[in-house]
Amino acid sequence: MNFEMQKAIILAENINGFIKFVQRQKIQNNFRIETDKLYQVKLWMEEYKFQILSDELLRINQFDWDEKYTSYLVDRLQKGINIIDEYVKNNYPELFILTARLYTLKNLSNSFNKIA
């Protein structure tokens, strides 16, 4: 399996993990996160279609490496991640729990820019 395919699959799995984490925090709210701010993050994930991007990344890189389409999807993802990351930085005391997962997503998506 191509190394770039593996990176794309790992990125897709981490996007799914981030989506599930935000949804779980919204339901359970173990860390007493302000629900309004968490809801704003959820809205941006829906606006930038994180679930669709994740599913597409997984689908197109499951059997064959498609560099052009993968880079297009990663660029779309980075736009959403950058906006969410800026919002989390501005509201760090309330949304600190999301920083680790955002850091992982940013680094995985930035690893695709180094090859282009």
Q: pLDDT tens-digit profile of 60-109? A: 998 888 889 999 999 999 999 999 999 999 999 988 989 999 999 999 99
Nearest CA to 109 out of 48, 63, 64, 33 is that of 48
Q: pLDDT tens-digit profile of 5-41? A: 999 999 999 999 999 999 888 777 666 677 889 899 9
80, 44 contact by CB (below 8 A): yes
**Separation CA 4–CA 111 (nearest Å):** 10
**Separation CA 80–CA 63 (nearest Å):** 27
